[in-house]
């Protein structure tokens, strides 16, 4: 580690992994509830399990992004973090607020939680993914502002690189767009319209900037390719992200009561959204092919390449699958959406956080550059188990979605929702099995932090032979 | 600095073009891009080894893609019936997965071509010619 203050990232990464484990456990409970409706009822009803599953996802990814920023910004800015103490304080505030919120979901009926936390004073609760009590949302804003101040001051008083500026723009966008979570108009059309400004413009806008900058940082460090080359790629990728993603928000406006022109704007621009993800794939492969050295941390390079490919498949291909409005007319809100959501979140955001953890954690735990071979091999097993099982989860949900759309919406004699749910139960069972394999991969991932931790570091780094 | 005409011909632009046409055949202009690729492949004997290798891989990959995406799906629809819901479950899932894998092969091939390296498409590719730099280290 080049700077002592980078160590604060370890706290964030540890919390991220813990919350990730929680998310997967609730995912398995939820998956089982699809086929065994009263499983764990009334202790954990379906709607609560779903809320915990999705909220934990958002929170652990945010912990991961913050950890990534605290790790890479000092190195890019070539100075210590502006205030490591503030970073530690905000970590505990965020963790305690997050834990209390999850406990609130599990222990108190949702309406009771709304009453307890004073939602009537500033009503913001009750919307998918933004279910957090208003007081938690205010806490998130405070944490985000303190975080941005800390990161911003570090960058402004240090070296400015494309990587840390793109990261800062992404993080600032993340914080600003979250403010729309406080806007809760009575008109349902307006409500949904602005709700997407948080949800869509996060995951198909500013989060992609964060993803791109973290990927660029890891590739600079692990391949030794000139920073200028990587930075040019990053510029083009983020430009394409914003060009396609901002107006691409229109693919959520097809059926909510907005004007008809969104059918065209949404279809055309969101059909272009796979382009930045495709470029990211070519970029990652290209940098690794042109590498000037073989980095000791092979598993971090594997995660980086995996991120690019899985993000392209999950966000790009599976997004395109149902993004054109004539197709979306039949598919919206079906299991096809769930298939896309699972692979896109895993490929783009879970994997990039695991990439930076894989790269940074060995150094934060006292290694020079990488873990032992034994530890890396175990982590590679976890990579393949989690990634392949996510491919299967996606395929099973896609199959479920196609059958659901056909029987419920396309057929001349459409069947009711719950009848169709029974007909696609086989896919839900197969998805659950794949989910168990995913959990096994996660267990191996966590084990890789302990197995081989006393073994010597992986073999000495060698310069790669010149390629082009 | 030597004039560009005096530089040794590496075949890199042609290799990149072959991979780009393979991807275009899958993503943008199916059929038309393949015809252009075939036209380039026809004159492969004059091309440097790097370009020859990429032309061979992409032509072979495109032919397999045609079979896997068009023929196989036609067979599935014929056997399963146009009105069968399970037919469409298989066709759409199979097409999406298969097409994505072929595109990822192309993306990797393009990155290899840009780095001046040869690469054999897994399962679908022709053997690489002698003396082709594959970047293995």
The verdict on residue A88 lying in a domain is yes
The verdict on residue A417 lying in a domain is no
Closest CA to A375 of A314, A454, A294: A454
Query: What pLDDT was estimated at residue B1?
Result: 42
**What residues of A are in contact with residue B16 (Cβ under 8 Å)?**
none
What pLDDT band is residue B133 in, cutting at 50, 70 and 90? confident
Query: What pLDDT was estimated at residue B129?
Result: 83
The verdict on residue A446 lying in a domain is no
3-state secondary structure chain A: CCCHHHHHHHHHHHHHHHHHHHHHHHHHHHHHHHHCCCCCCCCCCHHHHHHHHHHHHHHHHHHHHHHHHHHHHHHHHCCCCCCHHHHHHHHHHHHHHHHHHHHHHHHCCHHHHHHHCCCCCCCCCCCCCCCCCHHHHHHHHHHHHHHHHHHHHHHHCCCCCHHHHHHHHHHHHHHHHHHHHHCCCCCHHHHHHHHHHHHHHHHHHHHHHHHHHHHHHHHHHHHCCCHHHHHHHHHHHHHHHHHHHHHHHHHHCCCCCCCCHHHHHHHHHHHCCHHHHHHHHHHHHHHHHCCCEECCCHHHHHHHHHHHHHHHHHHHHHHHHCCCHHHHHHHCCCHHHHHHHHHHHHHHHHHHHHHHHHHHHHHHCCCCCCCCHHHHHHHHHHHHHHHHHHHHHHHHHHHHHHHHHHHHHHCCCCCCHHHHHHHCHHHHHHHHHHHHHHHHHHHHHHHCCCCCCCCCCCCCCEECCCCC
Q: Is B50 left (phi over 0), alpha (psi -120 to 50) or beta?
A: alpha
**Two tokens, residue A21:** 């484990």
Give the C-alpha separation, B49 to B132, whole Å: 6
The verdict on residue A340 lying in a domain is no
Query: What pLDDT was estimated at residue B131?
Result: 81
What ipTM did this prediction achieve? 0.89
**Two tokens, residue A344:** 């896109």
Tell me how close the Cα of B49 comes to any Cα of chain A, in angstroms. Answer: 14
**What's the N-to-C CA distance of chain A in angstroms?**
31
Q: Considering its fold, how many domains does chain B have in total?
A: 1
The verdict on residue B102 lying in a domain is yes
pTM of the model: 0.94
Closest CA to A303 of A227, A374, A261, A361: A361
Query: What pLDDT was estimated at residue A464?
Result: 58
Tell me how close the Cα of A338 comes to any Cα of chain B, in angstroms. Answer: 14
The residue range of the domain holding A36 is: 1-160
The verdict on residue A226 lying in a domain is no
**What residues of B are in contact with residue A406 (Cβ under 8 Å)?**
85, 88-89
Query: What pLDDT was estimated at residue A98?
Result: 95
**What residues of A are in contact with residue B86 (Cβ under 8 Å)?**
403
How many Å separate Cα A365 from the centre of its chain? 24
The verdict on residue B45 lying in a domain is yes
Interface test with B, best of A237, A343, A406 (most B CBs within 10 A): A406
Give the C-alpha separation, A57 to A18, whole Å: 11
Q: Which of residues 9-48 of B touch A (CB under 8 A)?
A: 12
**What residues of A are in contact with residue B88 (Cβ under 8 Å)?**
402, 406
Which residues does A contribute to its contact with B (CB < 8 Å)?
278, 281-282, 285-286, 288-290, 294, 309, 312-313, 317-318, 321, 395, 398-399, 402-403, 406-407, 411, 464-465, 467-468
Give the C-alpha separation, B73 to B69, whole Å: 6
Indicate the DSSP class of residue B43.
T
pLDDT at B2 over 50: no
Nearest to B88 among A286, A294, A402 (CB): A402
Q: Count of CB atoms within 10 A of residue B66's CB? A: 15
**What residues of B are in contact with residue A288 (Cβ under 8 Å)?**
111
Per-residue pLDDT reduced to its tens digit, B11-63: 899 999 999 999 999 999 999 999 999 999 998 888 899 999 999 999 999 99
Nearest to B114 among A286, A313, A465 (CB): A286
Could you read off the pLDDT tens digit of each residue along chain A, which spans 468 residues? 899 999 999 999 999 999 999 999 999 999 999 999 999 999 999 999 999 999 999 999 999 999 999 999 999 999 999 999 999 999 999 999 999 999 999 999 999 999 999 999 999 999 999 999 999 999 999 999 999 999 999 999 999 999 999 999 999 999 999 999 999 999 999 999 999 999 999 999 999 999 999 999 999 999 999 999 999 999 999 999 999 999 999 999 999 999 999 999 999 999 999 999 999 999 999 999 989 888 999 999 999 999 999 999 999 999 999 999 999 999 999 999 999 999 999 999 999 999 999 999 999 999 999 999 999 999 999 999 999 999 999 999 999 999 999 999 999 999 999 999 999 999 999 999 999 999 999 999 999 999 998 899 987 555 555 443
Please, are residues A339 and A397 in contact by the beta-carbon 8 Å criterion? yes
The residue range of the domain holding B26 is: 10-114
Per-residue pLDDT reduced to its tens digit, B99-126: 999 999 999 999 999 999 999 999 888 8
Strand partners, A294: A462
Share above pLDDT 70 across residues of chain A, in percent, rounded to a whole number: 98
Q: Considering its fold, how many domains does chain A have in total?
A: 1
Q: Would strands A293-294 and A462-463 be described as parallel, antiparallel, or unpaired?
A: antiparallel
Higher-confidence residue of B131 and A114: namely: A114
Q: Is A272 exposed, middle or buried (0-12, 13-18, 19+ CB in 10 A)?
A: middle
* Burial state string for B101-127 with b = 16 or more CB within 10 A and e = fewer than 16: bbbbbbbbbbbbbbbbbbbbbeebbee
In order of A301, A305, B17, the CA distances from A228 in angstroms are: 20, 20, 24
Give the C-alpha separation, A299 to A20, whole Å: 19
Please, are residues A437 and A389 in contact by the beta-carbon 8 Å criterion? yes
What pLDDT band is residue B8 in, cutting at 50, 70 and 90? low
Interface test with A, best of B93, B94, B99, B110 (most A CBs within 10 A): B93
**What's the N-to-C CA distance of chain B in angstroms?**
30
Closest CA to A402 of B91, B89, B87: B89
Asked if B111 lies within 8 A of A318 by C-beta distance, the reply is no
Closest CA to B60 of B37, B43, B29: B37
Asked if B133 lies within 8 A of A467 by C-beta distance, the reply is yes
Strand partners, A463: A293
Per-residue pLDDT reduced to its tens digit, A163-193: 999 999 999 999 999 999 999 999 999 999 9
The verdict on residue A386 lying in a domain is no
The verdict on residue A137 lying in a domain is yes
Query: What pLDDT was estimated at residue B44?
Result: 84
Query: What pLDDT was estimated at residue A459?
Result: 76
Asked if B114 lies within 8 A of A465 by C-beta distance, the reply is no
The verdict on residue A454 lying in a domain is no
**What residues of A are in contact with residue B97 (Cβ under 8 Å)?**
395
Query: What pLDDT was estimated at residue A468?
Result: 37
């Amino acid at each position: 580690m080049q700077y002592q203050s980078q160590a604060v990232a370890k706290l964030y990464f540890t919390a991220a992994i813990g919350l990730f484990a929680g998310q997967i456990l609730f995912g398995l409970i939820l998956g089982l509830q699809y086929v065994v409706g009263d499983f764990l009822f009334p202790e954990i009803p379906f709607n609560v399990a779903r809320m915990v599953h999705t909220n934990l996802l958002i929170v652990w990814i945010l912990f991961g992004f913050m950890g990534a920023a605290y790790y890479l910004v000092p190195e890019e800015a070539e100075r210590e973090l502006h205030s490591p103490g503030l970073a530690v304080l905000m970590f505990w505030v965020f963790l305690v607020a997050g834990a209390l919120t999850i406990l609130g979901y599990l222990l108190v009926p949702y309406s009771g939680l709304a009453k307890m936390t004073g939602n009537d004073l500033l009503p913001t609760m009750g919307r998918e993914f933004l279910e957090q009590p208003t007081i938690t949302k205010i806490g998130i804003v405070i944490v985000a502002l303190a975080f941005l101040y800390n990161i911003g001051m570090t960058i402004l008083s240090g070296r400015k690189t494309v990587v840390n500026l793109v990261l800062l723009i992404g993080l600032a966008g993340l914080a600003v767009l979250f403010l729309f979570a406080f806007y809760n108009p009575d008109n349902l059309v307006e409500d949904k319209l602005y709700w997407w400004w948080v949800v869509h413009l996060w995951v198909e806008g500013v989060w992609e900037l964060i993803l791109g900058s973290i990927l660029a940082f890891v590739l600079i460090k692990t391949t030794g390719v000139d920073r200028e080359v990587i930075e040019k790629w990053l510029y083009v990728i983020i430009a394409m992200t914003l060009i396609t993603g901002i107006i691409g928000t229109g693919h959520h406006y097809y059926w909510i009561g907005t004007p008809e022109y969104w059918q065209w704007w949404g279809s055309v621009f969101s059909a272009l959204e796979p382009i930045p993800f495709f470029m990211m794939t070519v970029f990652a492969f290209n940098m690794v092919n042109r590498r000037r050295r073989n980095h000791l941390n092979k598993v971090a390079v594997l995660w980086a390449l995996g991120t690019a490919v899985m993000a392209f498949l999950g966000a790009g291909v599976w997004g395109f699958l149902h993004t054109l409005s004539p197709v979306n007319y039949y598919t919206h809100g079906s299991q096809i959406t769930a298939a896309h959501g699972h692979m896109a979140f895993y490929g783009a955001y879970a994997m990039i956080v695991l990439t930076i953890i894989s790269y940074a954690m060995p150094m934060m735990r006292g290694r020079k550059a990488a873990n032992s071979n034994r530890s890396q091999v175990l982590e590679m097993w976890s990579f393949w188990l989690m990634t392949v099982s996510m491919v299967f989860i996606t395929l099973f949900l896609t199959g479920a979605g196609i059958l659901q759309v056909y029987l419920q919406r396309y057929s001349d004699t459409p069947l009711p929702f719950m009848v169709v749910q029974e007909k696609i139960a086989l896919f839900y069972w197969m998805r659950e099995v794949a989910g168990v394999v995913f959990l096994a991969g996660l267990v191996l991932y966590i084990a890789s932090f302990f197995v081989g931790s006393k073994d010597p570091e992986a073999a000495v780094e060698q310069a790669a032979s010149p390629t082009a | 600095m030597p004039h560009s005409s005096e530089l040794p011909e590496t075949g890199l632009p042609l290799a990149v073009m072959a991979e780009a046409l393979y991807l275009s055949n899958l993503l943008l202009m199916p059929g038309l891009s393949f015809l252009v690729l075939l036209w380039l492949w026809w004159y492969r004997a004059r091309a440097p080894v790097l370009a020859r290798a990429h032309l061979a891989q992409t032509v072979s990959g495109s032919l397999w893609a045609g079979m896997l995406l068009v023929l196989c799906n036609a067979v599935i629809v014929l056997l399963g019936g146009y009105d069968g819901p399970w037919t469409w479950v298989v066709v759409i899932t199979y097409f999406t997965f298969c097409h994505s894998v072929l595109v990822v092969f192309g993306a990797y091939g393009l990155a290899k071509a840009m780095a001046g390296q040869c690469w054999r498409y897994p399962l679908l590719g022709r053997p690489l010619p002698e003396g082709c730099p594959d970047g293995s280290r």
